[in-house]
Amino acid sequence: MPPSRVIQLYRKIPWVQAASIGLDGLHTLLEVLDKMDAVFPPLSAIVGGLTALRDVYERTKRNREVTEVTAARLDRNCGILARRIEQDPTMASNFAHADYAAILQVLIEKVRALHQHSRIVRTLSSADHESALKSVCDEMADVMQTLQFELGLSIERNTEAILREIVFQKLVYAHSASYNADMSNGVSRRSCTEGTRFTILRDILVWARDESSLPIFWIYGPAGQGKTTIAYTICERLAHNTKHVSMISCFCSRQQDSHEGKVLIPTLVLRLAEQSASFATKVVAALTRQSNLGDLKLEDQLYPLLVEPWKTSVAGRKDLPPIIMIIDALDENEAGILFVKGFLAAVQAGDLPGLRVLFTSRPDPELVKLLGSDYKDLVFPKSLHFDANVNSDDRRDLDADIVLYLNEELPNHRNAPDLIALADVCAGLFVYASTAVLLVKPKDRVSAGIQKEEEVIRQLVTKASVAIAGIGQGHAVQMDTLYENILQEAFGSTSLQEQDPSSDPRTRFLLTFIIVSRIKRVDMGTVCYLAGVHTDVAESAIAFLQSVLYTDPTSKAIFCYHTSFEDYLLRTQGIAARRTRKWIVQHSWNMITTDQDRTRFDFDSRKPWSLDEGDVNLLDVSYAVKLAELYPQLIQPGLSRLHEARAKYSATVSTMQTIARTRSPILRYRIPYLALILFGF
């Protein structure tokens, strides 16, 4: 039947005439179908049933208010569906043999049965007919709504061809940012233990599915409260519901490439482009106009690379649910705070409709001000800061969750009194519990036996109880006590201040790793070079510290299980850290120069070994790291290359010396480093 004839019949249906609505949706749908080479079976079923609908409604007494709602809803879904099909007919044809065709056909048969019955029994109660017909039409509208919804999502997610554009290939993004990224380091992110964190997970999922709620959900709390595990669990659950929710993730970590500020916006843009073809198209246009967008500073990237493409592509996502963006450990990205400032301003200005965000972070003062005060009308905040001495419902729930976690990880001690006592001294800190598990049952090692494990558990409880009795409870006290116990076992002392880095290679290795990790992640060989130790020493130190450190078997890089251990060492071992920084710089200098060089380039006698410990900072260490990485390139080609590099270095001395004298004295000994880096390699 031609579309024009169907529309004429549709206009004659009394409930359509009674409803104060237009026929734009149906009219558009029929025109689109008429243009398609192949008929779309589910929609043909809808069109074919309109004549029957007309006759049935002519024989029923109409309720204007009810029929108007039904007609409007059905017509609206026709219009949306028409737009989807016209947008991508090929994608629409993929749905031709889906369940929708069969379901709609069943519903049409119900309409035809009503039609036939009303012709035979003209005196049948019109209320019965009206109720039955309304039920069928509502079901048809439900099916069509689901169809247009899934078709719309399929079109938006059909981004494979767009992402092959060369401009996307040039974007530098964080490979470790996705929640389920292959970390290839023996340790992966994990979800919450079954049955734990029920309340917070429920609250987030309710927020994620309620489009009318605030656009931002912020989880904040001190290190070790399980924020990353909660975020991971939310990602898992939303990922399993892709028919109704689109989700992207960006997990930041100081120990991974996701800590770099320069990759934050490109990573988010790439992940959003994977979920939205309309957005991806606008990003391609932006990168074509300005090819260096991916290389700019975050504040220069945010609007042209993210906000504007999103804002101008909103029509393509009309009638689709929002995309949920989950950004974990925001404070561990170098540009995290800067990103939040710009992002919140864009949300407040209405430039990011249909984009909702779950942030997790520590309670950094600037983030607290932004998310908890300046833009509080946009944010649903949820604190995980349940202090150790607070007897609240949240804290009791958290303690119960930790018991479940310990039972799962240490099944040989399930609900044993000592295990319950261990859960109590964890003081609501999941990082304490997970570290304790590694102390009791080291990863990838054969168990020492139940009795030995029980002994370790009792020792942990006893030492923590003594500390609490002497100092009092509190998260800092709990974690410091745990880490002190680990250092005591590894080094025979709770303080590395007592160890001279120049004479104790294991201490020097540990502190060198911690200091260098604040600059960049390097492999074990580079750390050993900077610390001046053999790999046997490094492996021994890691073995003693296996509850807090591990090595990536592929890259040989070293990682902390939790960054709170890094924070603890730098906070409590300041003197030893300063000594180690000086050692790193001095050792690096000794490795790349000769006695003759030291005499020849005497910049006011300001050599690394003549500096005070307090003079050496991370900038100096960064030079040493650079030289450590380049050193093999210098010596492998042979001595001729070495002499050539030093000749270049010598030729720049007078210029560099002049520059050095115009700077602070502390910079003077850095000039040889710069000369070697800039002119020697």
Chain segment 160-203, per-residue pLDDT in tens: 777 777 777 888 899 889 998 876 554 567 888 888 888 899 99
21 and 75, same domain (yes or no)? yes
Residue among 117, 98, 107, 100 at smallest CA distance from 138:
107
Question: Could you tell me the CATH number of the domain that includes residue 293?
Answer: 3.40.50.300
pTM (2 d.p.): 0.69
Shared domain for 171 and 123, answered yes or no, is no
- Answer whether residue 131 shows pLDDT above 60: yes
Q: What is the 3-state secondary structure (H, E, C) of 112-177?
A: HHHHHHHHHCCCCCHHHHHHHHHHHHHHHHHHHHHHHHHHHHHHHCCCHHHHCCHHHHCCCCCCCC
Do 400 and 360 have their domain in common?
no
Q: Which H or E run contains 356?
A: strand 355-361
| Domain presence at residue 162 | no
Contact 611/676 with Cβ under 8 angstroms?
A: no
What pLDDT does 360 receive? Answer: 96
Residue 473 lies in a domain: yes
> Final residue of a domain: which of 437, 461, 491?
491
Residue 681 binned pLDDT confidence (cut-offs 50, 70, 90): very low
Q: Is 109's pLDDT higher than 50?
A: yes
Q: Which domain holds residue 133?
A: 3-156
Identify whether 161 is part of a domain.
Answer: no
Q: Which of the two residues, 660 and 497, has the higher pLDDT score? A: 497
Last residue of a domain, one of 491, 522, 557: 491
Residue 488 CA to residue 499 CA, distance in Å, equals 12
Please check whether residues 176 and 306 belong to one and the same domain. yes
Domain count, the chain: 4
The span from the CA of 190 to the CA of 179, in Å, is 9
Does one domain contain both 439 and 539?
Answer: no
The answer on 111 and 88 residing in a single domain is yes
The pLDDT-based confidence of 386 (bands split at 50, 70, 90) is low
Task: Compute the distance between CA of residue 514 and CA of residue 570 in angstroms, rounded to an integer.
Answer: 8
In a domain, 499, yes or no: no
d(CA 368, CA 361): 10
Whether 344 shows a pLDDT value over 80: the answer reads: yes
Instruction: Give the pLDDT of residue 636.
Output: 43
Task: Tell whether 460 is covered by a domain.
Answer: yes
In whole angstroms, give the CA distance from residue 224 to residue 429: 5
Mark whether 203 and 349 lie in a shared domain. yes
Residue 305 lies inside a defined structural domain of this protein: yes
Average pLDDT value for the chain: 75
Q: Are residues 226 and 291 in the same domain?
A: yes
Give the end of a domain, one of 115, 133, 156. 156
Instruction: Identify whether the C-beta of residue 62 lies closer than 8 Å to the C-beta of residue 128.
Output: no
Same domain, 200 and 78: no
Looking at the fold, whether 360 and 333 belong to one and the same domain comes out as yes
> Mean of the pLDDT values across residues 114-129?
54
Task: Tell me the pairing of strands 355-361 and 216-220.
Answer: parallel
Residue 663 located in a structural domain: yes
Specify whether the CB–CB gap between 176 and 257 falls below 8 A.
yes
Determine which of 88-97, 133-142, 442-451, 554-563 has the lowest per-residue pLDDT on average: 88-97
Residues 171 and 89 occupy one common structural domain? no
The answer to whether residue 97 is domain-embedded is yes
pLDDT tens digits along 460-478? 888 877 766 554 555 667 7
Between CA 466 and CA 495 the distance in angstroms is 18
Q: 231: part of which helix (H) or strand (E)?
A: helix 227-239
**454 and 552 together in one domain:** no
